[in-house]
Amino acid sequence: MLWTIARHELQQIRRDGRLRAVSWLGLALLAALALLGWQTYRREAHERAHFEAAAREQWENQGDKHPHRAAHFGFYLTKPELPLTLFDSGIKPATGRVLWLEAHQRSVFAYSPVEDSGATGILGVTNGAEVLQLLGALLVILAAYGSVAREREEGTLRLLLAQGVSPGRWFAGKCLGLGLGLALVGSPIALGLGLLCWRADPAGFGADTALRGLGLLAGHGIYFAVWLVGTVAVSAWARTSRGALALLLGVWVAGGIIAPRLASTLASLLAPLPSLTEFGQAQVDDFNKGFDGEPGYAARLAQLEKDTLARYNVKTLAELPVGFSGIRMQMMDEFSGRISDRHQARLEAIYVRQNRWHWVTALLGPYVPMRALSSSLAGMDWAHYQHFAEVAEQYRRGVVKSMDQLLERELHGDKWEISMGREVWAQVPAFSYTMPSFRWAFHTAVVPLALVTAWLALAGLVAWIGARRISP
Amino acid sequence: MDRREEDFAMKPAGFFALARWEARRLVAERTGVLLIALWCGLLAVAAWQGRAQARDQHAQIAAAQKADLENWARRRALLVEIEAGRKQPPPFGDPRSPTNSVMGRGGERPVVLTPTPLAALSGGSGDLAPPVLGTGMITKLIGPAQSIENPANRLAGPLDLAFVVSALLPLFVLALSFDVLARERDARIWPLLASQPTSLRRIVTARLAVHFLALWLPLAAAAWWATGSSTGGAASLARPAVESGLWLAFAALYLVLWQLLAAVLNFRGRSAASNAVLLAGAWLASVLLIPSMVDAMVQSVAPPPDRREFLLEVRGVETDLFKRADELRDAYYAAHPEQRPQVELNEYDGYYVGNMYPRVLAADAALAPALARLDAERAAQDRWWRGLAWLSPTLAFRLATEKLAGVTPLQRELLVEHAKEFQREMRATYGAQVASMRPLTAADYDRAPRPPIVALSLSRRLRNAAPGLSGIAAATVLLGLWFRRAQRHAHQALATS
């Protein structure tokens, strides 16, 4: 019986011309964006490799100069990407493509694509994941909104119930049929995208990436199950198929179109960030005046001079057997590093509060948490960017410290000027980075995963009650 | 029926009477009230967001200008005190030293791009386009925009009024007007209409006018409030009122365009459900599908300039110039022998004056072609966007309103242009003094050039937005003609039914 109902539902889907048209349109758009993603991924991977090699070559051949000026010349780094980026580019369009590591300053991502984009705030979707999540959900709504309500309108529901068909089994059969239809459309898409990711970078497509890919598949499975079960449930509750469609489209617009922007607006209004000037000025103030009862830079410098003179048992800085400028720079960088950590932690705390507002808008629909889950598994969410930036920051501090130590070692007294060359720059170890594992990514995505699962539970509950009270 | 009653019965219903009936129907139906309430709620959030963003920009400008004036006055006062022998110069902060005071970061002054009143309606690039650019003699004006905004927020973009109108307004039109005439057809009272002397056009126009007012009046209130209060009472209300009036006129045109589409579909004689599906399809195409395809196309044919390649070029030039620093310094002083320092410089000043300053001047000249190439690539991308925007009214509206508000990245370049101009002025004023390390006096402080306050004129913005505006206007006129034709057909169909 269950299979008969499911088969009947599948036939209905197959015959629906509007559904076919929307499916083909959605598939065409998905294919176009996936191919564009593939092209972009391959081009960017090549450009990244070229950029990093050239930047390293420029570092080593920057010429003879003072080590501190070399530290200001700095390094450029780019965040590596997984092949899954071609499906979900996450926050990449809004985040800088390069990190500049320089003396005294915490590295921040710079040059985001949106900065150079001729059109801002484009409404359209820009990667395959968004197409799948937005248009896929719409497709499910169009396929299933009339599944129960239409049978009620046409009087066939009365006939079926009169024949003794259990409403629960009939409902389950509907869901099964629609689910099979969805799987038939979704499987080749998933397989195609998987192959495309693998072909884009066979060497980079390891077990961890495969696990992330499977995670994406499972996550999207849950997401579409939410829409499927939810749509059939609404169809069971609604008096007319038109009413069901209106309600479902309302939820789709609210959750998919309005919620992301409402989230960012509420986040910035209710958990505001300081302005860039305020953020910078607060660090300058901490540097000059000190913080948490600790003295500011001038007092620290005076103490350092006193301590250093005592340590080397000399009366003036000029008599020191080591370069005091190196010691001073180490103290300055260590102090400004602590200030920077302190303010960065405050900034991140505001980001966390802002992200909570994003989770609040998940009440409008499962799209916002699904988008977060997907970009997290693709390695393109803020947590991944932050992980990379933190590793790069530690590397920056190591390089700057090694330059400062050179000054301490090679200079004497209170001299500043010294010149060094390629043999020194070449000794600085190259930056290396390993992407966090699937397990790590999974942990960062627990909240959105829980929210999508909660939506599934809610849809299941509404469906269960709806199935029990089905009446002609 | 006496003659008076017959006259009354045959008299066509007046436009206002029809409109009053439609208004009553909207109020009586819970859905109508709910829709209008939802619309007002969205407008309130968007207006609040726009006002907050614009006020924040004005506050940033005021804070930067205040800090600059205080900083300049404090250093001048300190200089007077030092010259009078009442104070000692602080290390690395001597107001008489050109390197300490006018050359480095301490000498940077705020060049300002005043947000237009319409910036409260279009979020644009947000904090990637700050209204203040600190500019000094050696400031690198080719650097990236500094930002600490949460990337998740930036990716989604703000819920500004431009978004609410461009993407969501058509949905409200759809919800209110999808059955503007089809409701009679579905209720099978269509033949009754034929027996009435009131024309279909009048019925539809009256109903649409009510829908128009229900959507446009709250929008007008939100836009006027957001633009009028965004400057924090610092400026007159006339300019915001005029500009937001223009913006609202354009929004009205866009609203009418979607209403005409709904009316035409209704005249075609389909059921309300079919009209809803067709209008939803048009919305989906205009808001999601076409902009996505245009975006994909523009990314392929005119991708954004490769900033990494540009960075490598910049560093290549800088490295080369650094290696040739002595040669550049000698060439500079050979060309300006009168500026050769007359005193022996310490290590710090020697580096900044003898090495850095001539190098910065040479770097600006050497990087000019690369920057011009970058600008050309961005302009080419903009041309593609403009060329393809007519494919979707939503895209055309969005691009045109952003240009009208002066918030597109290309328009923000005006700030950089003026900053470059100001940098040239600073160099002309203090260049010789820096190169010769002649100490600054109070008179030197008094002749400091004033940092410019740039404003994008309305006429310039209108010129930028003209293609999009005229595209929407043309589409509305075409739909208006189709509307007339469709209603004539509907009349004929009604007469023969």
Please check whether residue A355 is in contact with residue A268, taking contact to mean a CB–CB distance below 8 angstroms.
no
Q: Give the pLDDT band (50/70/90) at residue A39.
A: confident
CB pairs under 8 A between A and B: 241
| Range of weakest confidence among A2-6, A267-271, B269-273, B323-327 | A2-6
Dump pLDDT digits (tens) for B44-85: 999 999 999 899 889 889 999 999 999 999 999 999 999 998
Kindly report, residue by residue over A154-184, the tens digit of the pLDDT.
Answer: 788 787 777 777 878 888 888 888 888 888 8
Pair type for strands B109-113 and B132-135: antiparallel
Chain B residue whose CA is closest to A63: B323
Q: What is the pLDDT of residue B441?
A: 92
Q: What is the pLDDT of residue A225?
A: 94
Q: Do B322 and A47 touch (CB under 8 A)?
A: no
Min CA distance, A165 vs chain B (Å)?
A: 31
B238 part of contact set with chain A, CB < 8 Å: no
Whose CA is closest to A405, among A392, A386, A418, A391? A418
Shortest Cα distance from A5 to chain B (angstroms)?
Answer: 27
H/E/C letters for each residue in A61-94? CCCCECHHHHHHHCEEECCCCCHHHHCCCCCHHH
Sequence-distant (6+) residues with CB within 8 A of A132 are A30, A189, A220
- CA nearest to A262 within chain B: B159
Helix, strand, coil percentages (3-state) for chain A, rounded to 5, are 75, 5, 25
CB-CB neighbors (< 8 A) of B145 in chain A:
110, 115
Say how many C-beta atoms besides its own lie within 10 A of residue B6's C-beta. 10
Decide if A240 touches B, using CB distance below 8 A. no
Q: What is the mean pLDDT of chain A?
A: 87
Q: Smallest Cβ distance to B347: which of A262, A264, A417?
A: A417
Q: How far is B209 from chain A (nearest CA, A)?
A: 24
Dihedral in degrees, nearest 10, Cα atoms A436, A438, A443, A447 = 120
CA angle B140, B144, B149 (to 5 degrees): 135
Q: What is the DSSP letter of B338?
A: G
pLDDT score, position B1: 45
**pLDDT tens-digit profile, chain B (497 residues):** 455 555 545 566 688 888 998 999 888 888 888 889 999 999 999 999 999 989 988 988 999 999 999 999 999 999 999 999 898 887 677 889 888 888 877 789 999 999 999 999 987 766 667 888 999 988 888 776 777 888 888 888 889 999 999 999 999 999 899 888 888 877 777 777 767 777 888 889 999 999 999 999 999 999 999 998 887 655 577 888 899 999 999 999 999 999 999 999 998 877 887 888 889 889 988 988 888 888 888 888 888 777 888 888 888 888 888 888 888 888 888 888 888 888 777 777 777 777 778 888 888 889 888 888 888 888 888 888 888 888 999 999 998 998 899 888 777 788 889 999 999 999 999 988 888 888 899 999 999 999 999 988 899 999 989 988 999 999 999 999 999 888 888 877 777 76
Judged by phi (left if over 0) then psi (alpha if -120 to 50, else beta), residue B139 lies in: beta
CA–CA separation, B115 vs B97, rounded Å? 36
Structure-token match 């006429």, residue found? B459
pLDDT for A461: 93
Compute the nearest-CA separation of A395 from chain B (Å).
21
- Report CB contact under 8 Å: A268, B158: yes
Strand order in the sheet with B132-135: B132-135, B109-113, B453-454
Q: How far apart are CA A130 and CA A139, in angstroms?
A: 14
A123: confidence class by pLDDT, cuts 50, 70, 90: low
Please judge whether B394 and A123 are an interchain contact, meaning their C-beta atoms are less than 8 angstroms apart.
yes
Q: B289-345 pLDDT, tens per residue? A: 888 888 888 888 888 777 888 888 888 888 888 888 888 888 888 888 888 888 777
Q: Is A221 on the interface with B (CB under 8 A)?
A: no
**Closest among A266, A447, A452, A345 to B156, alpha carbons compared:** A266
Check residue B232 and give its pLDDT. Answer: 60
| Res B169: pLDDT | 95
Q: Which helix (H) or strand (E) holds B40?
A: helix B30-83
pLDDT at B15: 83
Taking CB atoms within 8 Å and a gap of at least 24, the contacts of B491-494 are B491/B199, B491/B200, B493/B269, B494/B190, B494/B193, B494/B194, B494/B200
**How many CB atoms lie under 10 A from the CB of residue A361?**
24
Positive/negative CA dihedral, B456, B457, B458, B464: negative
Q: Report helix angle B307-323 to A17-60, nearest 10.
A: 10
User: Is the per-residue pLDDT at A266 higher than 80?
Assistant: yes
Q: Give the residue on B whose Cα is nearest the Cα of A60.
A: B319
Residues of A whose CB is below 8 A from B292: 29, 33, 124-126, 131
Residue A253 is encoded by which pair of tokens? Answer: 């617009």
pLDDT at B248: 96
Contacts of B162 in chain A (CB under 8 A): 121
Q: Which amino acid is at B167?
A: A
Give the span between the Cα atoms of B259 and A278, in whole angstroms: 47
| B-contacting residues in A 82-141 (Cβ below 8 Å) | 91, 93-98, 108, 110-126, 131, 134-135, 138
User: Residue A163 and residue A309: Cα distance in Å, rounded?
Assistant: 100
CB atoms B319 and A117 under 8 Å: no
List all residues 6 or more positions away from B348 whose beta carbon is below 8 Å from its beta carbon.
A416, B92, B99
Which residue, A225, A222, A223, A233, is CA-closest to A147?
A233
ipTM over 0.85: no
pLDDT at A438: 95
Q: What is the mean pLDDT of residues A324-351?
A: 93
CB contact under 8 Å between B291 and A122, yes or no, is yes
Inform me whether the C-beta atom of residue A348 falls under 8 Å from chain B C-beta atoms: no
CA distances to A360, B56, B352, B364, B367 from B133, rounded to whole Å, are 36, 16, 23, 18, 20
| Residue listed under structure tokens 């058509």 | B170
Contacts of B56 in chain A (CB under 8 A): 275
Q: For residue B123, what is the nearest residue in chain A, using CA coordinates? A: A121
Reduce the DSSP state of residue B5 to 3 states and report it.
helix
pLDDT score at B12: 63
Chain A residues whose beta carbon lies within 8 Å of the beta carbon of residue B159: 258, 261-262, 264-265
Say which of B42, B295, B308 has its CB closest to residue A51.
B308
Task: Using a CB–CB cutoff of 8 Å, tell me whether B391 touches chain A.
Answer: no
pLDDT confidence bin for A117, thresholds 50/70/90: low
- From A329's Cα to the closest Cα of chain B, the distance in A is 15
> Could you tell me which chain A residue has the CA closest to the CA of B50?
A265
Q: Which residues of A touch B311 (CB under 8 A)?
A: 51, 55, 76, 98, 111
Contacts with B322 from chain A: Cβ below 8 Å: 62-63, 65
Question: What is the predicted pLDDT for the residue at A199?
Answer: 87
Predicted confidence (pLDDT) per residue in A365-416, tens digit: 999 999 999 999 999 999 999 999 999 999 999 999 999 999 999 999 988 8
Q: Tell which wins on pLDDT, A214 or B433.
A: A214
